[in-house]
A and B are shown apart, each in its own frame.
Chain A
Amino acid sequence: MTAAKITQVVVDEVKGYHSFVKFLIFLVGAAAVASAIRFIFGLGVTTNLNDTFPWGLWISFDVVTAVPLAAGAFTLGAIVHCFHIKKLEPLVRPAIVTGFLGYSLVCVGLLLDLGQPQRGWHTMVYWNPHSPMFEVSMCIMAYTTVLFLEFLSPVCEKFGYHVPLRLLRTIEMPLVVLAASISTLHQSSLGTFFLIAVDKLHPLWYNPLLPLLFWVSAMCAGMSIITVEATMSHKYMGQPDEGELLETLAKILPCVLSFYLALRLFSLFALSEGALWDRPGLTALFVLEIVALVLPVLMLAQKKVRENGRLRATAAWMVIFGVVVNRFNVSMFGMEAPGTSYYPSFLESIVTIGIIAAHILFFVLIAKYFPIFEHHPETVDYSLPDHFHKTENGHGHVGNEA
């Protein structure tokens, strides 16, 4: 009776969704079926992976690309809380939700790609600190936990749980610092992955600064994702317009981005070894990657672009595109030996499309049911609980003297 009622309520609710959301649900369902097929028939049959291409789309996109795309949470957290640019605070929550979803889906993607997903916990038991993969998996587990705790705030607000909310407020700052430190480690270590591929990764991408480059470009990708996300949720979901805040963000982005480009060109011309321009296909991909990052710097340097919502979002899209191309170049195209090539199978593509769809779907649903964008902290006292009453005592003291 009650169960039937609940089902009825859920069905009615889902029926009321926009047809785009229903389409997303369909894509996620298709990916779930595809994942089941992978576990029944094995990686060899269902993917185009083989001994020459042990890593394919699932590593290149679901892990190596998805992680920097989820970097907005730690970047913005640090900007707002550590560098104290408080007015950007309303953007932190959507960024945390994106980050939490992103990392959860990275875990899903990794489990599909592992040969023995049921042994994932082995990394926590058999430590090998010499392995970048060990470091990244520990960081991803730790960071997903941190993001989950940060994500609990809107959940507790929604249901009015005041005690856990207080606790979460207390540990907010440590979490922000922890998030930034852990992210620095694993964003860069994703680059360290490819330092071992000495004679495999093409010199256009192989250089000893790869970890640093990965870290800096991840921050750019994170800021761009936030920009795009806020613009689109305003346009399509009727969420509040954060244009003014995005303008501030659009001032920070080109600075970091030009630092990245300078570093990228320095490492390319000063630190790379071997012939750079011997393969026209790779040269084209390299040019594409660089152009997609140089243009937004030029665009965002102009005030009228920063103030224009559409142009600003376009520039952000280009940064995202450039970073995605870079990650694919490093983890896929640049790793292919001359004369060989890999392209994902139908099933691999279905799973990755499903993971992207799941990200958008869950974001839309969370924004629908939880206070993500409504959270404007200028209306809330956000200062840390002052247990030692230093301020008041100090204040009182001064007052007494006066």
Chain B
Amino acid sequence: MSSENKDFGKNKAFLIDMTKCTGCRGCQVACKQWNQLDAEKTKFFTGEGYQNPPLMSEYTFTRIKFRDYEKNGQNEFAFYKEMCMHCNEPACASVCPVGAFVKTKEGPVTYDAKRCIGCRFCMVACPFGVPKYEWSKAFPLVRKCTGCYSRIKEGKKPACATTCVSAITYGPREEMIKEAEKRIAARPEKYLKKLYGAEEAGGTSVIYLTALPFDELGFKHVTKRPLPSYTWQALRLVPGIFLTVGSSLSLLSWFNHRKERIAKEEEMRKSGSAPKEG
């Protein structure tokens, strides 16, 4: 984790065109299969709409959120594929006390379960609410989408991107952004003229194209500044503060003790010389 100048354009990124999503949830199934995640016992309409499971969890790394709305007097569905955003500068990686999260040079943000102490700071820090906890276990760990890092290293695409027939494109981040802009330019009436993920949290490796405004679909409002910079502006002062407080207090006490010693000495001299005078 560092803020050194790094070119994120070559990172592998997802371009997810929500207007092309049909809500088949093939991505959810592929994700569960590849990551060998247990099924969850769920019911329809326990969440906000038709989505199932209702929320991401320790067993569900990605989910399609449904939103029903009316267009030209007809009921329509819009979708949002929720998953780890694989931020360029991830908040989870910066707050983790043991550095269990790593932004790989390929793009995915990975999690090392062997290091994790289970403090859940990543869950507090993540602006997208991605890391989930194994609440069912006595000694829980964190779970989240790995961007199928093991597949990427083998030159394959992530499981969800492989399965998806229409909506997910996978490739270098700069190319994905170009492609997205091309699509907006070609069909301006179809798309919202904004990309989610291009600047959110300082830029992410998941870029969304939508027809509806982001907040209506359930996208979170997130600052454009990389999150680690918020804590680093305070933490970078730590060594300086330690030395300043330490040295100034040492100096102060040395000075005061010296004063006391001299005062004592003075007193001793007075009392010592008193009998002579007498």
Residues of A within 8 Å of B125, CB to CB, are 196-197
Task: Produce 1/0 per residue, A9-48, CB < 8 A to B.
Answer: 0000000000000000000000000000001111111000
- B218 interface residue per 8 A CB criterion: no
Residues of B within 8 Å of A84, CB to CB, are 253, 256-257, 259-260
Contact B137 A133 (CB under 8 A): no
Contact B235 A184 (CB under 8 A): no
Contact B256 A131 (CB under 8 A): no
Majority secondary structure of chain A interface residues (helix, strand, loop or mixed):
helix
CA distance A51 to B132 in the complex (A): 6
Contact B235 A129 (CB under 8 A): yes
Q: How large is the interface on B (under 10, 10 to 19, 20 to 34, 35 or more residues)?
A: 35 or more
Contact A199 B94 (CB under 8 A): no
Contact A123 B228 (CB under 8 A): no
Task: Produce 1/0 per residue, A98-118, CB < 8 A to B.
Answer: 000000000000000111111
Residues 176-225 of A at the B interface (beta carbon under 8 Å): 176-178, 180-182, 184-185, 188-189, 191-193, 195-200, 208, 210-211
CB distance from B272 to the nearest CB of A (A): 7
- A259 interface residue per 8 A CB criterion: no
- B250 interface residue per 8 A CB criterion: yes
- B186 interface residue per 8 A CB criterion: no
Task: Produce 1/0 per residue, B244-260, CB < 8 A to A.
Answer: 01100110110011011
Chain A positions within 8 Å of B, measured between CB atoms, are 39-45, 49-52, 54-55, 78, 81-84, 113-120, 122-123, 125-135, 137, 173, 176-178, 180-182, 184-185, 188-189, 191-193, 195-200, 208, 210-211, 335, 383-384, 386, 391, 394-395, 398-399, 402
CB distance from A377 to the nearest CB of B (A): 13
Which residue from B141, B231, B250 sits with its C-beta under 8 Å from A177?
B250
Task: Produce 1/0 per residue, B86-105, CB < 8 A to A.
Answer: 00000100111111100000
Residues of A within 8 Å of B227, CB to CB, are 196, 198
- B121 interface residue per 8 A CB criterion: yes
Contact B99 A126 (CB under 8 A): yes
Residues of B within 8 Å of A211, CB to CB, are 234
The CB with the most chain B CB atoms within 10 A, among A191, A195, A391, is that of A195
Residues of B within 8 Å of A81, CB to CB, are 253
Assess A398 versus B269: contact at CB under 8 Å? Given A41-B138, A177-B246. Answer: yes
